[in-house]
Amino acid sequence: MGKSFHHSRFPAEFIMRFFRCYLAIVLSMGGCVFAWTDARAQSQSTVGNQTQHVLLNNDQVLCGNVYRQGASVIVRRGNEAELTLRTAQVIAVADTLPELYQARIEAQRRRSSATLGERISDVRWCIDNGMPAHATEALMSVYAVAPNHPVAIQLEGRLRRLLEQPSPSETSMVAPAGFHSDPGSKHAVQNMGYAEAEAMSVVAPLDATPLVHASSAPAALHEFTSKIQPILLSRCSQCHHQQSGVTTNWNLDLPPGGAMRMTQRGSLANLNATRPLCNPAHPQQSKLYLHAITAHGGKPTAKPPIAEHEANLARTLANWIASLELESQQSEGVPAASHVAPASFATRVEPNFPPLNPINPADVATSLASPAPTPAMAGQQSDQGAVHDSANQVRPLRLPTVDNPNDVEQFNRETRLRRRLGLH
């Protein structure tokens, strides 16, 4: 009997121990989940209470309260807007812009020294985000490699204008912006007045050219802007611009303020400066074409702006030069806009047209229902029409009788008109 009792007690104790272990495991897992959820909520509330900066994969920056939820990053600006981003769209999140700038450089994995294009991109990024100190440092590194780079000169103008308009929150950041470089240095950035900065800016000569309406712009401007000007800016602007330091008889105007597109003033100035170098009668003998396909500048290592294997660019240039002759021929037959007489502000006198007889639907229906007119009636109608006005037409005659007046093929306008007027 004792043996059977021992066997019946063992399974019960085993089940109780197993149940206690299972309960302890469940409680511990629940506590861990609760603690993790609480810590995550606290971390999210901590991050959300302060403004952070988010660097996107397109090099743009967003500011706001940042939250992380799974594979998404949420950027909120108070109660106004909320933007949900994928984690792949976000490169870095930092509390300050200088930290975000360092994260941007680290994300590009620059193991060696930065290239010239990367340095110019750094200068533009710092200027766009209001970091003049870092922009100056990056600009000095660009000048160390390319002292007369046209884009760097434009970015320097933007940097000067940024320093001219400091906000109260940026005063502490702009003041030591560094401009502790040697005053005698060739590329030292110094503070100057607004008028002096505008006088030295590349945009200054463009303001003298008035804007032209699209309807009165030269016909060659569109072709020049879309096909020729990009070639000239990419191949010739490094030496042929106003601040290149090289004395030339032909200079191009560059996009203002480091922009990527030319203004209308700049395009018109470049077109007017390029026309004297073109010979529409013999395009391939023009100075512009010859200088484009031959090396010039006096340097032994100089290369032609358009290489031999770039025949398409040379052909495009020659075709545009030849099109200038067609434009001049077409413009000879069309009077210039300046020769058109100015518009008169006097009261316009309208011509006196004879009054039109009003149409009365009842009269039309009555005339349609009346019998065919006799010659006397026709003569009377013609006399009345001549009295009123010779331009008045004789009233329509009665339509012929048909078998089926409701047949669409018969075009019985009398029945339709009577039905519309409610007289049928």
Domain membership of residue 352 (yes or no) is no
* Distance (Å, whole) CA 423 – CA 138: 90
Encode burial over 228-264: b for 16+ CB neighbours within 10 A, e otherwise: bbebbbebbbbbbbebbeeeeeebbbbbbebeeebbb
Which tokens hold the place of 159?
A: 């940097």
- The per-residue pLDDT for 63 is 86
- Across residues 71-78, what is the average pLDDT? 84
Which pLDDT belongs to residue 380? 55
Domain shared by 54 and 40, yes or no: no
Is the residue at 394 inside a domain?
A: no
Please report whether residue 37 resides in a domain: yes
Does the pTM exceed 0.75?
A: no
In this predicted structure, which of 130-134, 258-262, 305-309, 313-317 has the lowest mean pLDDT? 258-262
So what's the pLDDT on residue 141?
87
pLDDT at 17: 73
What is the per-residue pLDDT for 356? 57
Is residue 24 pLDDT above 60, yes or no? Answer: yes
Supply the pLDDT for residue 105.
86
Together in a domain, 262 and 275: yes
Contact 72, 84 (CB under 8 A): yes
Cα distances (angstroms) measured from residue 235 to each of 27, 295, 304: 73, 12, 9
Shared-domain flag, residues 42 and 65 = no
Residues 306 and 228 in one domain: yes
On whether both 150 and 132 belong to a single domain, the answer is yes
pLDDT beyond 50 at 14: yes
Residue 199 has pLDDT above 70, yes or no: no
Query: How confident is the model over 327-357, as pLDDT tens digits?
Result: 665 555 544 444 444 444 444 555 565 665 6
* Whether residue 100 sits in one domain with residue 121: no
Task: Evaluate whether residue 375 is within a structural domain.
Answer: no
What's the mean pLDDT when you consider all of the chain? 70
Among 71, 89, 109, the domain-final residue is 109
Report pLDDT for 189.
42
Report the CATH number at residue 100. 2.30.30.100
Shared-domain flag, residues 162 and 225: no
Indicate if the pLDDT at residue 195 is higher than 60: no
Cα(73)–Cα(76) distance, rounded to whole angstroms?
Answer: 10
- For residue 6, pLDDT beyond 70: no
Per-residue confidence (pLDDT) for residue 31, from 0 to 100: 67
Give me the mean pLDDT over the 41-68 stretch.
74
Q: For residue 186, is pLDDT > 80?
A: no
Tell me how far apart the alpha carbons of residues 279 and 286 are, in angstroms, rounded to a whole number: 5
How sure is the predictor about 255, in pLDDT bands with cuts at 50, 70 and 90?
confident
What is the pLDDT at residue 362?
Answer: 66
| 57 shares a domain with 28 | no
Q: What angle do CA 415, 417, 423 make, to 5 degrees?
A: 80
Instruction: Answer whether 225's CB lies under 8 Å from 219's CB.
Output: no
Query: What distance in Å separates the CA atoms of residue 10 and residue 284, rounded to the nearest whole number?
Result: 108
Give residue 1's pLDDT: 45
Q: Is residue 66 over pLDDT 70?
A: yes
**Is the domain of 326 the same as that of 221?**
yes
Would 155 be classed as within a structural domain? yes
Check pLDDT > 70 for residue 420.
yes
Domain boundary among 74, 94, 109: 109
Per residue in 97-114, pLDDT (tens digit) is: 999 998 888 887 666 677
**pLDDT score recorded for residue 375:** 54
Beta-bridged to residue 83, according to DSSP, are 75
- State the pLDDT at residue 107: 83
* Per-residue model confidence (pLDDT) at position 251: 82
Q: What is the pLDDT of residue 367?
A: 65
Boundary of a domain, candidates 109, 132, 150? 109
**Number of folded domains that form the chain:** 4
Q: What's residue 329's pLDDT?
A: 57
**23: pLDDT strictly greater than 80:** no
**Whole-angstrom Cα distance, residue 424 to residue 344?**
56
Please check whether residue 129 lies inside any domain of the structure: yes
Q: Domain residues for 157?
A: 113-177+197-201
Which tens digit of pLDDT belongs to each residue from 150-167? 888 888 888 888 887 655
If asked whether residues 40 and 28 sit together in one domain, one would say: yes
Banded pLDDT at 73 (limits 50, 70, 90): confident
The answer to whether residues 41 and 55 belong to one domain is no
- The residue-averaged pLDDT of 373-384 equals 54
Question: Quick one: 90 and 125 in the same domain?
Answer: no
Give yes or no for a contact between 29 and 21, defined as CB atoms under 8 angstroms apart.
no
Q: For position 170, what pLDDT does the model report?
A: 44
Residue 202 confidence (pLDDT): 40
Angle (CA) 397 399 403, round 5°: 165
Per-residue pLDDT, 267: 86
Residue 316 clears pLDDT 60, i.e. is over it: yes
Q: Please indicate, yes or no, if residue 355 is contained in any of the structural domains.
A: no
pLDDT tens, 211-247?
Answer: 555 555 666 788 888 888 888 888 887 788 777 667 7
Residue-wise pLDDT tens digits, 120-129: 889 999 998 8
- Quick one: pLDDT band at residue 181, thresholds 50, 70, 90? very low
Residue 201 has pLDDT above 60, yes or no: no
CA atoms of 248 and 243, how far apart (whole Å): 11
Phi then psi dihedrals of residue 94, to 5 deg = -140, 160
Top-confidence residue, 28 or 33? 28
Does 210 fall in a domain?
no
Distance between CA atoms of 306 and 318, rounded to whole angstroms?
Answer: 12
Instruction: List 72's β-bridge partners, or say none.
Output: 69, 86
